[in-house]
Structure 1
Amino acid sequence: MVKGPIPLRRSERLREIIEERIATGIYLPGMPLDETELATEFKVSRTPVREALMQLAFSGLIVMQPRRSAVVAEVSPQRICEMFEVMAELEAMCGRLAARRMTDADQHALLEAHQACKEAGEKNDPDEYYRRNEEFHSALYAASHNGFLIDECKNLKRRVSAYRRLQLRVRDRMRTSHEEHTEVYMAIVTGDGELAANLLKDHIIVQGERFADLISTL
């Protein structure tokens, strides 16, 4: 059974908003992000703002400075593309291992996340699709049953999360993303690790290309 919409904590919602503003250039590199000013703008206390900024610092999108405002980090387009290249290789490894190691519970979790992505896409809700997409990829990581690989995937996923979410706003991307998920799912459950790995590489690299398409229109 597919779950309902994923509720977000206030700090997580603030993180998403600030994350998108950084990815789209509204908040430029070097720009200070003052806790008090952000709390006033979003009509919240400073606590969720501070939590959101800490999450963004962990992702490398901002730099926390002692006794000073946080500032937006410098992340070049080349650096973003490099991160997507590495992400593609890591997820390909997950797919290859998952095809050999997936349990019935793993398969159920992956299928449930896949179906939830479909529902979000049918609603044309890119934010909800992004969250369900995160569940799909997390289920894929878990199915690899390699703890170190799972940690590395999660760490890098945090670094590219703003850009992965943003590219879903490109026309038809949610539909094609779901179609790619279908191919990945079928390759894994039929035990074709090499096909799963190649499909995942293409899936992630396309995200990088789609991001470039989106940035060119902003």
Structure 2
Amino acid sequence: MTERRATQLRDSIEDEIATGQLKPGERLDEVSLAERFGVSRTPIREALQQLAAAGLVELRARRGAVVSAPDPSQLMEMFEVMAELEAMCGRLAARRLLAEDEKALVAALAACQEAAARGDPDAYYYENEIFHRIIYRAGGNTFLAGQALALNKRLAPFRRLQLRVRNRMKTSQEEHEAVVAAIRAGETQRAADHLRAHVAIQGERFGDLMASLGKSRLAGA
């Protein structure tokens, strides 16, 4: 129960970092956070450790936890790298797909569809995470999978926020379907291209994300 509560708290703090309510360099005091969320310091401490592992919080000696969110230009660069890592994973998955990974991938695709049909962006996000991790695993390269997973975690709040943009869930699911079709067909380049386009945030999509961040900041002001 404590672990689940810590995950819920992590998500709440992630949202505040992503939307700018908690700013880079701001100190996160365990006692204040515990009082605000009505919990003990234990799940708060666990949530901050999870955020530190994702790179969104820095744990400093004598200062405790400090927000370390990226600025927009760094965020763009991180999404560019994430897109290439995902493309590599997709290419390898199309070459090395095992029957058990194919079954898991199809099931994850269906779970994403169910969440999208309910119009639940947070539920879709969690099913989406499972979907992508299966692709990492299916690629059969543990080092690459570890790098992709680490950056995925670093971008987690921004990827989740992006799903709240109008029609993004529907479009994301259509992209998932194209990715799965390419991987199952063994079409390595097509799988890589679809995943790269799916993850990359450029042009209008980056503008949509920045607009969402701006709206969230105004709402929290």
Q: Does the TM-score normalized on the shorter chain lie above 0.5?
A: yes
Match of 2:135 in 1: 140
Name the TM-score, length of structure 2 as normaliser.
Answer: 0.91
Q: Which amino acid aligns with 1:27?
A: L
* CA pair 44-136 structure 1, distance change in 2 beyond 3 A: same
Q: What SS is found at the alignment partner of 1:169?
A: coil
Match of 2:218 in 1: none
The answer as to whether partners of 2:25 and 2:67 remain within 8 angstroms in 1 is: yes
Q: Which amino acid aligns with 2:128?
A: N
Alignment partners' CA distance in 1, 2:33 and 2:206: 27
Match of 2:5 in 1: 10
Match of 1:79 in 2: 74
Deviation per residue, 1:70-113 (Å, 9 max, x gap): 12115111111111111111110111111110011000111111
Match of 1:31 in 2: 26
**Displaced runs of 4+ in structure 1, greater than 6 A?**
none
My pick for the range that moved more, 202-211 or 29-38, is 202-211
Q: Which amino acid aligns with 1:101?
A: R
How far residue 30 of structure 1 moved from its aligned partner, in angstroms, is: 1.6
How far residue 211 of structure 1 moved from its aligned partner, in angstroms, is: 4.8
My pick for the range that moved more, 59-68 or 121-130, is 59-68
Q: Does 1:159 align with 2:154?
A: yes
Match of 2:166 in 1: 171
Query: Which one of the candidate residues 201, 204, 210 is aligned to 2:199?
Result: 204
The answer as to whether partners of 2:172 and 2:198 remain within 8 angstroms in 1 is: yes
Q: What SS is found at the alignment partner of 2:160?
A: helix
* CA pair 74-181 structure 1, distance change in 2 beyond 3 A: closer
How far residue 64 of structure 1 moved from its aligned partner, in angstroms, is: 1.2
* CA pair 137-16 structure 1, distance change in 2 beyond 3 A: same
Query: Which one of the candidate residues 83, 86, 106 is aligned to 1:111?
Result: 106
* CA pair 213-144 structure 1, distance change in 2 beyond 3 A: same
Alignment partners' CA distance in 1, 2:15 and 2:162: 11
Q: Percent identity?
A: 53
* CA pair 91-208 structure 1, distance change in 2 beyond 3 A: farther
* CA pair 114-179 structure 1, distance change in 2 beyond 3 A: same
How far residue 208 of structure 1 moved from its aligned partner, in angstroms, is: 8.4
Q: Which amino acid aligns with 1:92?
A: A
How far residue 57 of structure 1 moved from its aligned partner, in angstroms, is: 1.1
Alignment partners' CA distance in 2, 1:82 and 1:60: 15
Alignment partners' CA distance in 1, 2:102 and 2:203: 27
Match of 1:215 in 2: 210
Alignment partners' CA distance in 2, 1:171 and 1:58: 30
Q: Does 1:94 align with 2:89?
A: yes
Alignment partners' CA distance in 1, 2:23 and 2:46: 21
My pick for the range that moved more, 28-37 or 182-191, is 28-37
Alpha-carbon RMSD: 1.5
Aligned residues: 211
Name structure 2 gaps, 5 residues minimum.
Answer: 216-221
Deviation per residue, 1:178-200 (Å, 9 max, x gap): 00000000000001010000011
Match of 1:188 in 2: 183
How far residue 210 of structure 1 moved from its aligned partner, in angstroms, is: 3.0
Q: What SS is found at the alignment partner of 2:20?
A: coil
